[in-house]
Amino acid sequence: MTATQYLADWRPYPFAIAETRLDFTLAARTTRVRSAIDFRRIGPGDLVLDGAGLKTLSMTIDGRPVDPTLIRADQEKLIIPADQLPDSFTFEAEVQIDPEANTALEGLYLSGGMFCTQCEAEGFRHITWYPDRPDVMAPFRVEIHSDKPVLLSNGNPVNTAPGHASWHDPWPKPAYLFALVAGDLRAIPDSFTTASGRKVALNVWVRPGDEPRAGYAMESLIRSMKWEEEAYGREYDLDVFNIVAVDDFNMGAMENKGLNIFNSKLVLATAETATDGDYERIEGVIGHEYFHNWTGNRITCRDWFQLCLKEGLTVFRDQQFTSDMRSAAVKRIHDVQTLRARQFREDAGPLSHPPRPDHYQEINNFYTATVYEKGAEVIGMLKRLVGDEGYRKALDLYFDRHDGQACTIEDWIAVFQDATGRDLVQFKRWYTDAGTPRLSLTEEWANGKLVLNFRQHTAPTPGQAEKPARVIPIALGLIGPNGDEVLPTTVLEMTEERQSFAFEGLGARPVVSLLRGFSAPVTVAREMTADEQALLLAHDTDPCARWQAGHDLALDALIDRTRGKAVGEALIRALGGLLDDAEADPAFAALCLSLPGEEEIATTIAASGAVPDPDAIHAARRGLVQDIAEAHEVALTRLFDAMAPQGPYRPDADGSARRSLRLACLGYLGRLDDGNRADTLFADAGNMTERQGALEQLIALDRDADALARFAAEFRDNRLVMDKWFMVQPLRAAPEKAVARARALAARPDFDWKNPNRFRALISGLTANHAGFHAADGSGYDFLADWLMKLDPVNPQTTARMCSAFETISRYDTGRQDKARAALRRIAAMPGLSRNTSEMVTRILA
């Protein structure tokens, strides 16, 4: 079962389905599923159905029994030869499944006594025999028998009586969008009237008692529906839209037609329990799943290689939504930070793959930063190249031409070519080629003429040695030595490996403000002096490039420090100027005050060909924080006080900007006041943003015992808040204590490790502590490996995702590398290792 799947092997399914009828009789250990599927032949071939772990009680075709020896259990398939099939027929089956034993959380499972489903990517085959592939679409009728009070499925309710409900989803959909929920749930009800006057009943379903925490999710849903009508002219298409929050969930959320199922951490929020970051993610993910209704559900993927067709586009749309709801500049900078931290990291290592991969063993391993975040960046570039109007025309054509279809990246690109007339053959490489291009810039200056010489180069990635040039939109401006902008944003289109562009008639030599708005997902190599960086930080008109200048200045200072050089005076001076007018734009000041993290410093050192030393990096960063704090104590103190809350907590852009600046100041001041301010803030804060920020400071300063005890006493019964408690300790602990701390936490009875949120909180808290995880004695690697081996038999998907903590090992010294590889080989050798984890470990060790 570890066969590799290839894009080139895709063949059309030989049958269409007129209707799928499902009848569930729910029971924890013995759920019965009866199915009836009306097939009609549309091409040559056998009938192939997928099924995994099913106890098959009966199967018939038009009432005649199907020979059970046609089941190939080893392949998880039932194959009925073409010559045994009429042209149109109804396949019926009855199977029994065990939701309680389903700890993998794929298919139908139990979470806190509630029945729920997760079918993407290939979970439906754990429910019944079916063509479990996204290009087979059908309308569904679903009957549910259960004594649970609330019984939900996709589409519109047909009738509901105690113990029974029936649902009809008229929109043809693939099996991965099927959903069922049965439980004791309470709704936050509301409604939305679409632009064309359809009244839609909205519900956010939560456990009894959680109703007061679901209001923000509902507000976010209504904002999403309205925004999509305005920005894309798309309306909702059913009478009801349900969202359900569940505690046990492998990922963030799922866009099942009319019945989105969410990890409860992306639904439940109050000022006392959720941070600004949590609120922003809730709004963004509610939007994301809602937007899938058009980009994913009405138009879906032909096969799983095309995953970025729906995910890249839907991420792009949720980014647009958030930037319209909040601050566009802050959102863009956050997205750039995430892309660099997760996607560039992935692309630089053994797991690098193109946004559209052409082979995989386990598709669940490809829900990656490359498919999602780079997939969105690629669309941003496309939009820049064809312009806003061209983009709108292309999207209208996409919805028009492909509604109701299962599509490919080729279909998507054709829509842009047809709508705008632009040749996109070279552009397509962004989808098919892996790796992050490195864009180098050298400059020539003479007689008022500036020549920019660009070169692009992409290093080989696994399976792709040759990297032809891509089209790169380079947005830039020029800033004169006095700070004036002498050239407003101009987009250059680079199509060759080397290309030069000239700007004439300039008075004095300007500084290039490069990659404005982060116009392409590339790394940049250019020589810049600290003074030039400081000039851009002070005067650039583009927020992204301005932030980048400050960030690079800090990164250079930090790297110098790891080599025992210099103290970063230029940076300290530049931050002084920034602090003086921080109140005008607190969010921007906070972003600049948050120095590059240790992981990013390590990445940058590795990219320059050197070997990063995690302990030296940690010490350098700490030292720079101390120096900045001492140099700017007065300004930091003034800002910390000025950013105190004004009025009640509101999770909006302005409020969160003030809090982020306040906490950024606290991060420095804590080095001077021994954590006294953090202690007071922890005790007095009326919201979780400041509370958690203060707690993280106290842990970093090793002054956390009282605060942790109080926090645990107060939030013992709130799982989501206790997840934070488990996460921040290994994350913020001093590196030499991080592993021991994680070990102690893992031994607690409330470390409910089968719950993915709790597992991730503790384990990724540690792996995100750069110097702690990469402890020279290998204890971080061993701890991670031990836990991955324990989780794999229970939940392969979550285990496999967390293997990526090892993806950077080859950049470190051989001592660390050997220990990490030994830990990985231990995992690889485990008997019965899942296909998911086996694929990840093999790729990382290759």
Q: Please give the residue ranges that form the binding site for Zn ion (CB under 5 A).
A: 311, 314
Half-sphere exposure of 471 (CA within 13 A, CB side): 18
Is residue 53 within the footprint of ligand ARG (CB under 6 A)?
no
Residue type present at position 363 = I
Please say which residue, 314 or 548, places its beta carbon nearer to Zn ion: 314
- The answer to the question of residue 251 lying near ligand ARG (CB under 6 A) is yes
Q: Closer CB to Zn ion, residue 314 or residue 799?
A: 314
Q: Which is nearer to ligand ARG, 408 or 660 (CB)?
A: 408
Nearer to ligand ARG, 253 or 553 (CB): 253
Task: List active site positions.
Answer: 289
Q: How many CB atoms lie within 10 A of CB 372?
A: 22
Question: What does each C-alpha distance from 699 to 510, 616, 745 come to in angstroms?
Answer: 45, 20, 14
**Minimal distance in Å, beta carbon 279 to ligand ARG?**
18
- Residue 804 binds which of Zn ion, ligand ARG, none (CB < 5-8 A, kind-dependent): none
Q: How far is the CB of 369 from Zn ion (least distance, A)?
A: 13
| Structure token pair of residue 493 | 């289109």
Residue 120 CB, shortest distance to Zn ion, in Å, is 9
Q: Which of ligand ARG, Zn ion, none interacts with 791 (beta carbon under 5 to 8 A by kind)?
A: none
CB of 137 to ligand ARG, least distance (A): 16
616-675 binders of ligand ARG (CB under 6 A)? none
Least distance CB 244 / ligand ARG (angstroms): 15
CB under 6 A: which stretch of 62-70, 253-261, 316-324, 561-569 binds ligand ARG? 253-261
Q: In this structure, are residues 722 and 711 in contact, taking their beta carbons and an 8 Å threshold?
A: no
CA–CA dist 388, 83 (Å, integer): 53
Residue choice 92, 132, 247, 255 for contact with ligand ARG (CB under 6 A): 255
153 sits near ligand ARG (criterion: CB under 6 A):
no
Decide which of Zn ion, ligand ARG, none touches 251; Cβ closer than 5 to 8 Å per partner kind: ligand ARG
Q: How many CB atoms lie within 10 A of CB 624?
A: 20
Q: How far is Cα 222 from Cα 143, in angstroms, rounded to an integer?
A: 29
Tell me how far apart the alpha carbons of residues 307 and 369 are, in angstroms, rounded to a whole number: 12
Is there a contact between 245 and 268 (Cβ–Cβ < 8 Å)? yes
Q: Copy the structure tokens of residue 686.
A: 């009326």
Q: Which is nearer to Zn ion, 314 or 836 (CB)?
A: 314
Positive or negative CA dihedral for 646, 649, 655, 661? positive
Shortest Å distance, C-beta 254 to Zn ion: 8
| Omega within 30 of 0 (cis) for the link into 121 | yes
Tokens of 559: 């790297």
Q: Does 252 bind ligand ARG (CB under 6 A)?
A: yes
Q: Which of 111, 224, 250, 320 binds ligand ARG (CB under 6 A)?
A: 250
Residue in 119, 248, 399 with CA at minimum distance from that of residue 720: 248
Q: Which of 50, 76, 92, 120 binds ligand ARG (CB under 6 A)?
A: 120
Among 17, 33, 52, 121, binds ligand ARG (CB under 6 A): 121
User: Which range touches ligand ARG (CB under 6 A), out of 117-125, 375-383, 565-573, 688-696?
Assistant: 117-125
DSSP state letters, 493-549: EE-SSEEEEEE---SSPPEEEESGGG-SS-EEEE---HHHHHHHHHH-SSHHHHHHH
- Whose Cβ is closer to Zn ion: residue 293's or residue 456's? 293
* SS3 at position 831: coil
Q: How many chain residues are in contact with ligand ARG, going by CB under 6 A?
A: 13
365 binds ligand ARG (CB under 6 A): no
Q: Which residue's structure tokens are 């842009």?
A: 416
Site string for ligand ARG, 512-541 (x = CB under 6 A): ------------------------------
Segment lying near ligand ARG (by CB under 6 A), choices 137-145, 250-258, 404-412, 517-525: 250-258
End-to-end Cα, the chain, rounded Å? 20
- Exposure of 392 by Cβ count < 10 A (0-12 exposed, 13-18 middle, 19+ buried)? middle
154 lies in the binding site for ligand ARG (CB under 6 A): no
Task: List the one residue out of 206, 244, 182 whose CA is nearest residue 25.
Answer: 182
Token output for 57: 């009680």
Which residues contact ligand ARG by CB under 6 A?
A: 118, 120-121, 250-255, 311, 364, 367, 797
